[in-house]
Structure 1
Amino acid sequence: MTMRWMRAGLVAAAVLVLTSCIPLPRIGGAPPAPIADRDINMRGNCVQTEEDGFHENAQVVVNNNTVQSLSWRIAVGKRGTCSFDYAEFRQTQRKPHIEMRARDGSSCKLLMWQEPRRVTLAHVGCERRCTPGIYEEAWPVMFEPNTGACVRR
């Protein structure tokens, strides 16, 4: 199983939690905030290439759940790319998760949320920002919340 498929499973689980706003289970101490209620403050810089040629290059600055800059490029091997730039989006939501909508009126949205060990940046409905035929393989990017680096697998 490739890392992209494992990542897809994690993202699918997180999206389910986000859409239902169910808090994480309590494991001693104070209960954690639901995933969607976590504030994001991060300078993210993730550049990595997987064994199968999947490449991501993502930089994002978020202060108090407000996106200040964003540049994200995804390459699916040598078959094509997807591209997302801050100037092409407007932030429409800060909580319970960050949401940015494309300024061109398309259905393209960028979503960002924080879990205890990762901040996920995902796209929804953004096929037009990708080379035809690769969108289903263009997975989200995940950052370490404390350092902003790529989540290590």
Structure 2
Amino acid sequence: MRYALAAAGCAVLLASCSFSSLPSAPIAYHPIDLDGHCAQTDVDGFREQATLKVRDNWVQALSWRLWVGQRGSCHFELSEFRQTRTRPQIELRARDGSACELMIWQEPGRVTLAHANCEQYCTPGIYQEAWPVMFDPHAGICAAATRRAG
């Protein structure tokens, strides 16, 4: 009985919801166009070297290496991936059939290149500390680092 009352209460609550606060028009879409090169080293020894060229959300060049101090590195090359998506974010999947995925998206002030499920592209034991790289969308250089020291 208690579950029936709870279900009925939820149904009434959902029926009374107003969706008038939803936007009436879709969010504006702006394609990513970037000629980016980022090479930097943090004081704690983390460093990255990345080249990323994107035209109208199509990746034309990508080479990315990041180092986790002296313990190892991760390395990604465009030839090892195929682009599977252009919107709302760019996605590239590993050609080797693994679950490794690279994602690129733009926010105000930066274009981010991130990875997911890509342990095999890194030295064993460092993947959890392998952070994304961020580019300034206007200058194409490294954007301000937001990685927290671990």
TM-score normalised to structure 1 length: 0.76
CA distance in 2, matches of 1:74, 1:152: 16
Greater Rg, structure 1 or structure 2? 2
Contact conserved, 2:63 with 2:78, CA < 8 A, in 1? Answer: yes
Matched, 1:65 2:32: no
| Aligned counterpart in structure 2 of residue 133 of structure 1, from 105, 115, 125 | 125
Q: What's the counterpart of residue 10 of structure 1?
A: none
Runs of 4+ in 1 over 6 A off after TM superposition: none
Partner of 2:45: 53
Contact 1:72 1:85 in 2 (8 A): yes
- Structure 2 distance, partners of 1:133, 1:139, is 14
Contact preservation (8 Å) 1:38, 1:115 = no
Q: Distance in 2 between matches of 1:71 and 1:58?
A: 6
1:148 maps to what in 2? 140
Give the deviation of 1:116 after TM superposition: 1.1
Cα deviation digits, residues 22-50 of structure 1 (max 9, x gap): xxxxxxxxx9x47xx43100001000000
Distance 1:125 1:73 in 2: 16
List gaps (5 residues or longer) in structure 2: 1-24, 146-150
Q: Which has the higher contact order (CA 8 A, sep 6+)?
A: 1
Aligned counterparts of 1:84 and 1:112: Cα–Cα separation in 2: 13
Secondary structure at the aligned position of 1:136 is classed as helix
Q: What percentage of aligned pairs have identical amino acids?
A: 57
